[in-house]
């Protein structure tokens, strides 16, 4: 009985943490966007507008919950849960420090991938159960986008597991105590970050929610508390992608003095996650939205081949090192192997950027000449 109470307490604290973090994220995002666009942002509700997110939440909870005529009642009500529950379950295995985690799973990364795929079902159900043509079109776009960008994400996670010889998040972070993985895995970080943005539907990958094309996407018929559940899931997933980027590639909670003062571990994690979140907000304020054909081509013609190359490089370099040094007992790369791996991935990134630049120049030339690219 005590174990059950402990589990319920942990889950309740985790749920409260996610809800509070979503309120903070929405406020910070509006402030960052306002700063970039030379505006003030929320200023009226509370000092510097800090209560604006709370006021918006109360407004959503007080709104009327409307179900459109012709919709499937049961599926219409279940769809928000199919989207939110996976975004919540992901956090059960995400560690905040070396000793703070709800459930430390040995296959934590596989668990995250498996659970996150359930949200695709929720997206499709939300659009189909609503019965509207715009919601169905938005859900079809969501399913296509999520499936397309899930594959590069899985390959990157497999590549990280190959190098770490573990899918336990705490083990992966501990192996980055001296050198963060982004130093010798810049290609993996780039693919993971870009595919993660597409998975959570952030700009420039927010095609399913394009107001000018599909009037808001699969959630167009939702209002009030059910719409707020979708909103909560989106920001919980955004925070999860930022946190996983830090854990897998930026050393997690590792930093100066963390070995001697454990209370510094969550501070370093918060600082690194904040930097990734700022980058996400900056991208939203800077980049335009992709067209649907550009989005799908980017996934299948660029990210997926890159993820194949990434996992092949990650599998080849440790194997060659093992053959040369005859050291199969160590589960960490030597300094020379890290340098070779990092150089290979930087070269690949440079070649891809060069090819994209050449393609863009060719496209603009044809555009000015009135010739199809």
So what's the pLDDT on residue 277? 94
Domain shared by 168 and 288, yes or no: yes
Domain enclosing residue 166, as ranges:
68-333
- Domain for residue 343, yes or no? no
Shared-domain flag, residues 273 and 307: yes
Same domain, 221 and 273: yes
Residues 49 and 72 in one domain: no
94 occurs within a structural domain: yes
Q: Are residues 81 and 58 in the same domain?
A: no
The per-residue DSSP string of 282-327 comes to HHHHHPPPPPHHHHHHIIIIIIHHHHHHHHHHHHHHHHHHHHHH--
The answer for residues whose C-beta is within 8 angstroms of residue 41's C-beta and 6 or more apart is: 30, 31, 33, 34, 35, 49
User: Which pLDDT band, with edges at 50, 70 and 90, does 49 fall under?
Assistant: confident
**For the chain, how far is it from start to end, CA to CA, in angstroms?**
67
The answer to whether 99 and 262 have CB atoms below 8 angstroms apart is yes
For CA atoms 261, 266, 271, 272, the dihedral sign is positive
Q: Based on the structure, what is the number of domains in the chain?
A: 2
| Residue 211, pLDDT score | 62
Kindly state whether residue 350 falls inside one of the protein's structural domains: no
CA 225 – CA 209 distance, rounded (Å): 18
pLDDT tens-digit readout, 92-129: 999 998 888 888 888 889 999 899 888 888 888 888 88
- 91 in a structural domain: yes
Question: Do residue 30 and residue 115 come from a single domain?
Answer: no
Per-residue pLDDT tens over the stretch 188-206: 999 999 999 998 888 888 8
Is residue 289 a part of any domain in this protein? yes
pLDDT, tens digit, 9 for 90 and up, residues 308-335: 999 988 888 777 767 666 655 455 666 7
| Higher-confidence position of 13 and 367 | 13
Euclidean distance between CA atoms 329 and 317, whole angstroms: 16
Give the position of tokens 């000793």: 99
Q: What pLDDT is attached to residue 170? A: 92
Give me the phi and psi of 323, to 5 degrees please: -65, -40
> Is residue 282 within 8 Å of residue 203, measured between CB atoms?
no
Smallest CA-to-CA distance from 184 within 244, 274, 250 is with 250
Residue 231 clears pLDDT 60, i.e. is over it: yes
Do 284 and 203 meet the contact criterion of CB atoms below 8 Å apart? yes
Please give the Cα distance from 338 to 344 (Å, whole number).
10
Q: Within a domain: residue 180?
A: yes
What is the structure's pLDDT at 331?
57
Q: pTM for the full model?
A: 0.89
Statement to judge: residues 12 and 72 lie in one domain: no
Alpha carbon distance 33, 283 (integer Å): 10
- The CA-based angle 158-160-166, given to 5 degrees, is 85
Q: 42 and 179 share a domain?
A: no
Contact 135, 217 (CB under 8 A): yes
Q: What is the pLDDT of residue 11?
A: 83
pLDDT at position 372:
55
């Amino acid at each position: 009985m005590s174990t059950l109470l402990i589990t319920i307490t942990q889950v309740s604290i985790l749920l409260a943490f996610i809800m509070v973090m979503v309120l903070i994220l929405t406020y910070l995002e509006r402030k960052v966007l306002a700063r970039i666009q030379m505006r003030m942002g929320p200023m009226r509700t509370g000092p510097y507008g800090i209560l604006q997110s709370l006021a918006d939440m109360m407004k959503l909870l007080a709104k009327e919950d409307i179900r459109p005529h012709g919709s499937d009642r049961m599926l219409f009500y279940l769809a928000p849960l199919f989207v939110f529950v996976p975004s919540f379950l992901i956090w059960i295995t995400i560690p905040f420090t070396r000793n703070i985690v709800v459930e430390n799973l040995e296959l934590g990364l596989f668990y995250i991938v498996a659970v996150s795929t359930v949200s695709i079902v929720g997206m499709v159900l939300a659009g189909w159960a609503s019965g509207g043509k715009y919601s169905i079109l938005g859900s079809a776009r969501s399913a296509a986008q999520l499936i397309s960008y899930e594959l590069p994400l899985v390959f990157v996670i497999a590549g990280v597991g190959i190098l770490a010889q573990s899918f336990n998040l705490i083990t992966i972070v501990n192996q980055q105590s001296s050198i963060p993985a982004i130093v010798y895995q810049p290609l993996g970080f780039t693919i993971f970050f870009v595919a993660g943005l597409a998975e959570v539907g952030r700009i420039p990958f927010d095609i399913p929610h394009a107001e000018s094309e599909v009037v808001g996407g699969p959630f167009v018929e939702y209002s009030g508390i059910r719409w707020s559940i979708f909103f909560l899931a989106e920001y919980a997933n955004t925070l999860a992608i930022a946190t996983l980027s830090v854990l897998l590639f930026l050393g997690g909670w590792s930093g100066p003095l963390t070995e001697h003062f454990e209370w510094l571990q969550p501070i370093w994690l918060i600082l690194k996650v904040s930097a990734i979140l700022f980058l996400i907000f900056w991208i939203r304020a800077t980049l335009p939205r992709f067209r649907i054909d550009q989005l799908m081509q980017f996934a299948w013609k660029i990210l997926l081949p890159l993820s194949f190359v990434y996992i092949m490089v990650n599998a080849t370099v440790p194997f060659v090192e093992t053959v040369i040094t005859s050291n199969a007992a160590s589960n960490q790369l030597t300094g020379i192997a890290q340098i070779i791996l990092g150089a290979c991935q930087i070269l690949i990134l440079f070649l891809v950027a060069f090819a994209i630049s050449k393609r863009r120049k060719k496209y603009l030339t044809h555009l000015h000449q009135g010739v199809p690219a």
